[in-house]
Amino acid sequence: MTLLSVLTALTADWKGNAIECDYALSVDDAGVLPVNIDPAAPEWSLPMSAQSVTIVATPTVQTFWPTTVTFAVGADGRLTPDADSAPWVTINDVAVPGTVATKASIVVSRFKDVSVDVITEFDNVPVTRQGKPAKVRKDYEERYGSWPPPDLDLVDRPGVNFLDLPVPAQGVSFSPDTTVHVKAENVVLQLAGVVAPKLWGVSWPESIERKDGAEATSFLVFLRQGNAQYIGSFFAGDGQSAYPINFDYVTFGYFDDMAYPDPDVFNQPGSKGVPYQAAKAGAAVVTVHPVNSLNEDFGVIESTKQLGRILLELQQFMFRTSGVAAPPKTLGKAALASFSSGTHILARMLARSDNLAESFLGSDVNAVYFLDAPEWSVTDCVTAALAWAGPPESDRRVRFYTQSLWNPLKKLFPAPLPTPPFITSTTLRTLGYIPTPSWVPIVKAEINVTLPDNQVWQYAHHAIAATMLTHALSQGDFT
């Protein structure tokens, strides 16, 4: 019989740096046991009758979430974490007959899984826009065939016309590919304590195994358009909750970048289907979707040091939630993709001197993608991207896709360029130019719809992101 079983707990981040916590310990799902001595380094005397013990370690700082770990108590008084807890706690103990002393070293994370909250929010559809009656639910039902989705799975879209690969020297074409399946764990995580991005969509393909000894993960970070343009129209008001979880953030800000419409992307290219494009391209990459806020946009990750640290934390979280206690401690190759006004945010990131001096942007980021950079942004994008890329031996890849051949883009390849539309590409550079007018016959051919003149630019703007990212992801940037 165990006469004396004493438990103490300590908490750290995944790197072993101390995180101060408040602790609550309960025994056999009963009341909370008093903590003794020091709340920062607690000690508990466990009852002899204890069968199970649960500790909740709640950080006293805003930048980490609580961790809950549960143990079974053996006949000898020794503690064994259950399967869900095992990746988050290490047990050290000393035992002699009748007495055991145990130290629980708990790991806390900056991320928590809020997928259930996001799925619930899908059904919290606004009935007004800017105070006026709106048919938002009907729009989403029409776009995706039904609404709300029951989960975050990305269903097969056999009717989608993907960009045909490889692309020819001149011209582009599209066709269905029923071999494309997004077999992935899709989750939405919430990052603690930052102004933005608080929400992070993640699509982790099954083919990228999370197991002991796994290689470091390669990531594609997709920077959607900036949100400043939506102040007064989306993301706030009409009865919606504050950032980060309301209908607009979980749909327009997240789901629409993950999903493809039903039946075809050409029906609504506002849905970008990024994980589908990665699957079509055969890219072994986890796609990551920071959800920018209305007022702070991409917030802390304009510092690439912060972005790198967050991706490491994300990798740790995703491995541990799949049962791996020792995830990789470095990152694989990373690419940063950006769309529309998001291209200028990426340009700023590439141009900051403090970013250029740190290791994530300097070593881990292997490629940058610009999806239809607007005219006001494109000069900064080209300048910053080429400066970051440096000489060919740096092996840093820069890929632009556009509907307008702005002059700065002509620095990417020597004249003469092919007759548009074209995607011309080398290992290190890509320029895809599908002129605005050329989308009219493409859409007519794919879905038999004639685009109104006043909608062609906007359609092409989104369609470039919804189709051309496939090409970028097929260029071997993650191998």
Q: Which of residues 307-346 bind another protein (CB under 8 A)?
A: 309, 339-341, 344
Residues in region 229-248 near another protein by CB under 8 A: 229-230
Question: Which of residues 81, 205, 253, 299 is near another protein by CB under 8 A?
Answer: 299
Residues in region 266-295 near another protein by CB under 8 A: 270
Is 462 a binding residue for another protein by CB under 8 A? The answer is: yes
| Residue 220, strand partner residues | 287, 335
Is 116 a binding residue for another protein by CB under 8 A? The answer is: no
Is 80 a binding residue for another protein by CB under 8 A? The answer is: no
- Total binding residues toward another protein, as defined by CB under 8 A: 92
Q: What are residue 77's phi and psi, to 5 degrees?
A: 85, 0
Question: Which of residues 51, 92, 170, 363 is near another protein by CB under 8 A?
Answer: 92
Q: Classify strands 286-291 and 422-425 as parallel, antiparallel or unpaired.
A: unpaired
> 336 near 355, Cβ under 8 Å?
no
| Nearest in space to 69 (alpha carbons), one of 102, 37, 99, 94 | 102
Which of these segments, 146-154, 208-216, 225-233, 440-448, binds another protein (CB under 8 A)? Answer: 225-233
Is the CB of 196 or the CB of 385 nearer to another protein? 196
Helix (H) or strand (E) segment spanning residue 174: strand 174-176
Residues in region 184-223 near another protein by CB under 8 A: 193-196
Is 305 a binding residue for another protein by CB under 8 A? The answer is: yes
Q: Return the structure tokens found at 119.
A: 């799925």
Question: Which of residues 28, 30, 39, 410 is near another protein by CB under 8 A?
Answer: 39
| Least separation in angstroms between CB 400 and another protein | 14
Residues in region 385-444 near another protein by CB under 8 A: none
Is 127 a binding residue for another protein by CB under 8 A? The answer is: no
Is 297 a binding residue for another protein by CB under 8 A? The answer is: yes
| Nearest in space to 71 (alpha carbons), one of 4, 15, 9 | 9
Tell me the CB-side half-sphere exposure of residue 187, using CA atoms within 13 A.
18
Question: Which of residues 30, 72, 84, 98 is near another protein by CB under 8 A?
Answer: 98
Is 143 a binding residue for another protein by CB under 8 A? The answer is: no
3-state SS record for 389-456: HCCHHHCCEEEEEECCCCHHHHHCCCCCCCCCCEEEECCCEEEEECCHHHHHHHHHHHHCCCCCHHHH
Q: Give the SS3 label for residue 370.
A: strand
Is 62 a binding residue for another protein by CB under 8 A? The answer is: yes
Is the CB of 214 or the CB of 325 nearer to another protein? 325
Is the CB of 354 or the CB of 395 nearer to another protein? 354
Cα–Cα dist 324/316, whole Å: 9
